[in-house]
A and B are shown apart, each in its own frame.
Chain A
Amino acid sequence: MDPTSPYVWPGPAVVGFPRIEAHWSPGPWLFTAEDNLQLDSVCSQSGVTVTVNGVVLSADFQLLPFSWTHSPNSNRTVATTRVSLGTGWLQHARILVTGGAAKQGECFVALRVCRGTTSNAIILGTIAAGYITTVTDLYTPGGTILTALDGAGTVRSITGTTPAAGVDILETVPTNARWEVLAFTAQLTTSAAVANRVVGLTIDDGTNIYFRDSPAFTQTASLIDIYSWAEAQSKMAAPGSSFVLGNLPGGNRLLAAHRIRTSTIALAAADQWTAPQYLVREWLENN
């Protein structure tokens, strides 16, 4: 359209723009004085800083680069930064971890356009979304918009709580996480109290048990045995000197607040579970 055309465009003016330029739209993301850029993040790693770089084509046709940083939370809750871009068309943007050491699957970000600058802002669209690291960026245009449950996730080795004597182990899936439990191991030291301890592992939804496994092995008094559960593992009692193997359901998915716990029949007061260690594949739930 010829910008010198005497044609008078109908409709109200766009805030911050000559009406005719707003209709040209040299880019899909037009920011008026009322629109802002919003970055949402969900992160499980501490000390992470995210930097957003980009370029806006202003109403007077100047390319204006911008750069700002955002600090995600480390507890998987959503952190949000809203920034005014002034008026113009977002031409391209790149989002990258520039501080800390988030691995793939530990920091999910979504770049959005919103109206308003407070928590009451209305989100109008999503420009880009995906996991980022210090070398894997998220970019627009051309990037694929992903959800936090897409991709390979991240693998975490977690040291659990060593319970008091006579108490079974309990571990829980944190808020805003989804786990695939790949392996779980712990050691049981039995006291001199005479009893036949039979160890089981249960997984529940926070209340109701939906998986149980027991290696069908009896541990008597004054012994130290290491129990190990894993996906797709053949179950075998004591194949080595003190190892007892059990199964986990293949391709399991545990939502937040689901629990993994040992369930030991005839556990005596001085019996001690120690060294709970487990391996999970984790995705962030961007609720």
Chain B
Amino acid sequence: MPPAALTTWQCPSCHGVYSDPQGNGQRYYHICPPLSRIELLALSPGELIALYTAHAIPPTVPDALERLAGVGIARVNHRDENIDPAYRGETLAPGQRPDETAVPRIAWGEGRTSR
């Protein structure tokens, strides 16, 4: 089987670049990385203090920013392309008829081989 054509995408939230499907034909599920140290620095002082407080990091310690970056603060409009783990396939509403095409009746083989 020839390798699948690579389609490259750029995430509008984090601007990361990735290929889906991969060269071997398998799907790739992008997830945005947390805010980097640089992105945290770009927040307003109030937002930054709130994050320090929420994660119990004293803002005065020398590596406070690195610690906060290590916690993994999700960015606004964070994207996670993974399938919802709660997905359980088709669920019929009461009274809804199932898709009959998904349940084919068997096509019996020609010729009966013995009796």
Which residues on A are within 8 Å of B, measured CB to CB?
A: 44-47, 61-68, 74-86, 100-101, 117-120, 156-164, 166-172, 174-176, 202, 204, 207, 209, 256-257, 259, 261, 263, 265-269, 287
Contact = CB atoms under 8 A, between A and B. Distances in A.
B16 A63 contact: no
Contact of A85 (B11, B34, B106): B106
Interface string B61-85: 0010010011010000000101111
Given A80-B89, A176-B83, A202-B70, A168 B36 contact: yes
23 contacts: A45-B25, A62-B115, A64-B108, A65-B109, A66-B107, A67-B107, A74-B26, A75-B83, A81-B102, A81-B103, A101-B25, A117-B98, A119-B98, A159-B23, A161-B16, A161-B17, A161-B30, A167-B33, A168-B34, A174-B82, A174-B83, A175-B29, A257-B82
A67 B83 contact: no
Name A's interface SS. loop
Contacts of B85: 175-176, 256-257, 287
A167 B36 contact: yes
Most buried by B among A83, A101, A170: A170
Nearest to A62: B112
Contacts of A61: 115
Contacts of A118: 92, 98, 103
A175 B83 contact: yes
B5 to A, nearest CB: 12
B104 interface: yes
Interface string B43-61: 0000000000000000000
Contacts of A46: 4, 21, 25-27
Contacts of B70: 202, 209, 263
Lowest 9 CB-CB distances: which A-B pairs, in order?
A65-B109, A170-B33, A164-B15, A175-B83, A101-B1, A161-B18, A161-B16, A166-B38, A118-B98
A84 B83 contact: no
A68 B114 CA distance: 22
Contact of A167 (B16, B24, B105): B16
B84 A175 contact: yes
B104 A83 contact: yes
Nearest to B103: A117
Contacts of A81: 102-104
Contacts of B80: 172
